[in-house]
Amino acid sequence: MFGQPRPSPDPTRFLIPHPSDNRKYQRVNKHLLQPVPMARGGAVEPVLTLADALGSGGSNTVESIQRSGQLVFHCVGDTGSVRGPQTQSLVADKMVADFTEVHPLSVPHFFYHLGDVVYSFGEARYYYDQFYEPYREYPAPIFAIPGNHDGLVFNGDRDRTLEAYLRNFCAEAPVHTPEAGGLLRTAMTEPGVYYTLEAPLVRILGVYSNVLEDPGVISSEGDPESPVSDVQLAFLAAALRRAKQDTDAGRFRGAVLIAVHHPPFTYGGEHSGSPRMLEDLDNVAQKAGFWPHAVLSGHAHNYQRFTRTVGKTQIPYIVAGCGGHAITRLRHDAAGAIRTPAQVTDSLVFENYDDRHYGYLRVTVTETQLKFEFHPAEDGSSEKTPDDRVVVDLKTRRLITA
């Protein structure tokens, strides 16, 4: 089950008040990583298909997408608000409005969440206000990867890391959880916190970048004492090798994306990039002989887009952490401006940004193109004009005009 059958007014306040977490933050070990739970079933590359997530009608929906030759979906992270439902509802309502498109090809088929679903410590008691209620009218599956706040714990915390996330996103069956209250949405059935979401025309390889504010960590990084194993590196290697084999053999036509909560690159502000995590991602791609068509992240509470050149390949690195939690300004110069495009390194260009508005990504995939659009929620539900857009030619792997 997904959205409610009848629309209802947005709430004006949380059902459960969210007091300040300042004292809990003081009890957080800022250097303590958490172990990565093994995926269900023990597969090196755990896979969840869109057809399975949709239930009994899934195969018909997938066949319809394949016949149409186009898939649309939503993507954003950092949605949980601790101040009230208004900012979350602003984004969610505009996303829901996309389902009223006249042309069936333009209707989204799912929402992929880039982490930090619930603040500040992924508590079960806040899942209704910060997740189920804002998306009560979203009539499609919601997939996710966890962010640092979904797994963050403090000294004396009675909940284990990721406990509520695993119950609500990694259930063995689409059950109704206590966190959903009286709403119909059932738990998602992801096989773990790292997995491949397989849909027509797209594969999204999601990994968990752990609980630190900065940087993101997806492996032991060569430290034998690290609580983080290298299971996610093995997963990425297997997934990218399979993507290469299937693409080369013509069994798969479409885009391969990597989703990770902490961004490899950011342009200042409150969060930095994660160079050692980027090194892990690069090493796996080089060994597999297959680079993703794009890398999506959240964590920084704004919108940023970079273009990275790897050989003859241009790869968008997009930060979309503006789904409802407090917007964060970037590092502006003395005149209060950041002029884009800005050449960061020989191989990296900072292309565009929005650090004032909440919003989301609308992603469109065909056999030949991958298109990202950033839609600010403040434009209102009836506005369909994105503030930023980038298109990747899937054959040449270069950025093009749509």
- What would you report as the CA-atom Rg of the chain, rounded to the nearest whole angstrom? 20
Q: What is the pLDDT of residue 333?
A: 74
Q: What CATH number does residue 315 fall under?
A: 3.60.21.10
Instruction: Name beta bridge partners: 313.
Output: 310
Q: What Å distances lie between residue 186 and 4, 171, 178, 194, 277, CA to CA? A: 11, 9, 10, 20, 33
Q: What is the pLDDT of residue 402?
A: 63
Instruction: Name beta bridge partners: 303.
Output: 320, 354
Number of domains in the chain: 1
Question: Does a structural domain hold residue 307?
Answer: yes
pTM of model > 0.95: yes
Q: What is the CB neighbour count within 10 angstroms for residue 222? A: 9
Question: Does a structural domain hold residue 13?
Answer: no
Distance, CA of 393 to CA of 215 (rounded, Å): 31
Distance, CA of 349 to CA of 90 (rounded, Å): 31
Distance, CA of 186 to CA of 179 (rounded, Å): 10
Nearest to 150 by CA among 356, 317, 363, 298: 298
Question: Does a structural domain hold residue 36?
Answer: yes
User: Could you tell me the mean pLDDT of each successive run of 10 residues in the chain, 402 residues long?
Assistant: 95 95 93 96 97 96 97 98 96 97 94 98 97 98 98 92 98 98 98 98 98 97 97 98 97 97 91 96 98 98 97 97 96 81 96 97 98 96 94 97 71
Under 8 Å between Cβ of 85 and 129: yes
Under 8 Å between Cβ of 89 and 10: yes
Q: What is the pLDDT of residue 270?
A: 83
Question: Does a structural domain hold residue 57?
Answer: yes
* Helices 231-248 and 275-288, axial angle in degrees (round to 10): 40
CA dihedral sign of residues 376, 303, 154, 206: positive
Question: Does a structural domain hold residue 4?
Answer: no
Question: Does a structural domain hold residue 12?
Answer: no
Distance, CA of 30 to CA of 71 (rounded, Å): 40
Question: Does a structural domain hold residue 209?
Answer: yes
Domain that holds residue 361: 22-400
